[in-house]
Structure 1
Amino acid sequence: MTRIKLIATDVDGTFLNSQRQYNHTRFDQQLTRLTAAGIHFVVASGNHLGHLEKVFAPTPRVQTFVAENGSLIVNQGQTLLETPVDATVVKQVVTAILADVTLRPQVLRLSGAHGTYINQTDQPTDAKSQAYFFNNVVRVPDLTQVHDTIYKINGEWPNESIQQLAAKLNARFPGQINAMASGFGSIDIVAAHMNKAIGLTELAKTWHIDPSEIAAFGDNDNDREMLAHVGLGVAMQNGTDSVKQVANLITPADNDHDGVLDVIEAILADEV
């Protein structure tokens, strides 16, 4: 196959295990080998930048992030591209979601350049998880009055309904948003033309890397476009069926058993 020049990975359910950890020593050794081989390593996640930087602080050589499902791309501390949701669309979507009992989530968030905004009265299903994923929470009385660059709208619903709700949201706002299930009962809503595949492709262009020269790992619906778009799309053994359907490869091991690191090892050995 075409030689891999860039490896991109989702984080939760993919690179991290169920305890939200990864093998620092093994991965750091792989980073040395990836650098020697001229292969870039990129984090491609729906999470906000500050959280991703915290997760990868134990391996500080990781400095390239496609955050917010592609809406914010940062390399070596410099913003290369940002694609916020139009402010008018944000207000329309938030107003519609909060006014419709069939759409209203347990908690609704706006992920912005200067904070993650949550209504003062909203209570997350899992306060510990919120504290883990969002280290920049700003409580506000009215989400429609937030004035910031908004990369993503995020909400929590019962996990069994998120695929259907994402489809309902996309049908409600055609050509205005891209709503996708992102795991843990969560839906991410970004600009209509935005996803991880678009963000990763734009980043790769700056390094003159073709999508066929990219390997990408993912486990959930917001990874589908990315895995389908690259030369080697790798779905996690623990991933959703919809992601596995578009993948070129399924990891022999799951995220609790170094599934991503095992395949990186195979890429370095030119075995895939």
Structure 2
Amino acid sequence: MTQIKMIATDVDGTFLNQDRRYNQARFAQQLQQLQEAGIRFVVASGNHLGHLHRVFAPTPAVQTFVAENGGLVVDHGETLFEDIIPTPTVHQIVADILADPALRPQVLRLSGAHGTYINRRDHPSDEAAQRYFFNNIVLVDDLTQVEDTIYKINGEWANETIQQLAAQLNQRFPDQINAMASGFGSIDIVAAHMNKAIGITRLAQSWGIAPEEIAAFGDNDNDRDMLAHVGLGVAMKNGTETVKAVANLITPTDNNHDGVLDVIDHILAGEV
């Protein structure tokens, strides 16, 4: 059995329960055990870095983040890698999506180094959720005029259509983007070659860790590449069927019942 040297986990629908909380006391104890065992813990999320800092503020020992679906890798405040969507491509994609009634979302966002940009006329279906996920909102009149380092384009559509729409977007803009359903009615659009697997691989290589020495947890389509790439890909019991199809293991319990933490205990015990 290959020894696990790195654990990477998605956040929403995976590490967090439906109330967007986690068992802080149990996790803090596990972090100490992981450190003693020489196992690195990494957050791998589609969310922007500021949001992830806020989520894990109760556990300050968490200091390594693969944010923006792999587009930004930060360890202890140091940016190790970043991969952006070129500004002309951002402007072209935004203009084309907004001009096509079949593709136009309820809300379109640009996740950048200095803010999350939203057209001031757009209104999300859930204002509270937007405030939770995006604590750096910048309202603008025209997204095609935004000049910033853009890691990701995020759109909000009807939840039942997002996987089909992601496929349509990839067909519409071949070799320019990678569009992935990310849950909660959202699609994340990153650079064509980018995904969480790329982000965690770059990080692992900097630590001398091979893919087969990584365990990764996820629940949605933007986790598929990551789970398929590592030695132990763990899909959540509450995850999508497409994620479960590439996993080595499915958690016995879901995200509302410490599914990730339960498997971490098994990893620490050398049982998986």
Using the alignment, how far apart are the partners of 1:53 and 1:264 within structure 2? Answer: 22
Shift of 1:99: 0.3
2:170 aligned with 1:185, yes or no? no
After TM superposition, give the deviation of residue 233 of structure 1 in Å: 0.1
- CA offsets per residue over residues 218-260 of structure 1, 9 Å max, x none? 0000000000000000000000000000000000000000000
Counterpart of 2:262? 262
Confirm whether residue 202 of structure 1 aligns to residue 197 of structure 2: no
Q: Identify the residue that residue 75 of structure 1 maps to in structure 2.
A: 75
Q: Distance in 1 between matches of 2:150 and 2:181?
A: 19
Counterpart Cα distance in 2 of 1:18 and 1:163: 22
The residue type equivalent to 2:167 in the other structure is A
Deviation at 1:27, TM superposition (A): 0.1
Question: How many Å separate the matches in 2 of 1:96 and 1:185?
Answer: 20
How much does 1:42 deviate? 0.1
Work out the CA distance in 1 between the residues paired with 2:209 and 2:102.
44
* Equivalence for 2:228: 228
- Tell me what 1:138 maps to: 138
For 1:172 and 1:223, locate their aligned partners in 2 and report how far apart those are by CA, in whole Å.
22
Gap runs ≥5 in structure 1: none
Give, as a single letter, the amino acid of the residue that structure 1 aligns with 2:155. G
How does 1:19-58 map onto structure 2 within 5 Å?
Answer: 19-58=19-58
> Distance between the aligned counterparts of 1:211 and 1:144, measured in 2?
38
Which whole-Å CA distance do the structure 2 matches of 1:116 and 1:124 have between them?
A: 14
Partner residue of 1:213?
A: 213
Supply the distance in 2 between the matched residues of 1:147 and 1:95 (Cα, whole angstroms): 15
Opposite residue 19 of structure 2, the aligned amino acid is Q
- TM-score, normalised relative to structure 2: 1.00
Number of residues of Structure 1 aligned to a counterpart in Structure 2:
272
Provide the rounded CA distance (Å) in 1 between the counterparts of 2:124 and 2:183: 15
Q: Measure the CA separation in 2 of the matches of 1:100 and 1:176.
A: 18
Q: Give 2:88's aligned amino acid.
A: T
Tell me which residue corresponds to 2:92: 92
CA distance in 2, matches of 1:246, 1:86: 31
Deviations 1:85-117 (A, max 9, x none): 011110110000100000000000000000000
Deviations 1:56-75 (A, max 9, x none): 00000000000000000000
Deviation at 1:84, TM superposition (A): 0.5
Q: Deviations over 1:104-146 (max 9, x none)?
A: 0000000000000000100011000000000000000000000
Q: Identical aligned pairs, as a percentage?
A: 75
**2:222, 2:64 → 1: CA distance?**
19
Distance in 2 between the 1:38 and 1:120 partners? 47
Note the alpha carbon deviations across 1:154-194, whole angstroms, 9 max, x for none.
00000000001000000011000000000000000000000
Secondary structure of the structure 2 residue equivalent to 1:148: coil
Q: TM-score, normalised by structure 1?
A: 1.00
Displacement after TM superposition at 1:263 (Å): 0.1
Distance 1:41 1:127 in 2: 32
Shift of 1:208: 0.2
CA–CA distance in structure 2, aligned partners of residues 264 and 8 of structure 1: 11
Pairing 1:252–2:246 present: no
RMSD: 0.3
Q: For the residues of structure 2 that align with 1:73 and 1:156, how far apart are their CA atoms? A: 25
After TM superposition, the structure 1 = structure 2 runs for residues 87-126 of structure 1, keeping only pairs within 5 Å, are 87-126=87-126
SS of the aligned residue for 1:180 comes to strand
> For 2:41, what is the secondary structure of its paired residue?
strand
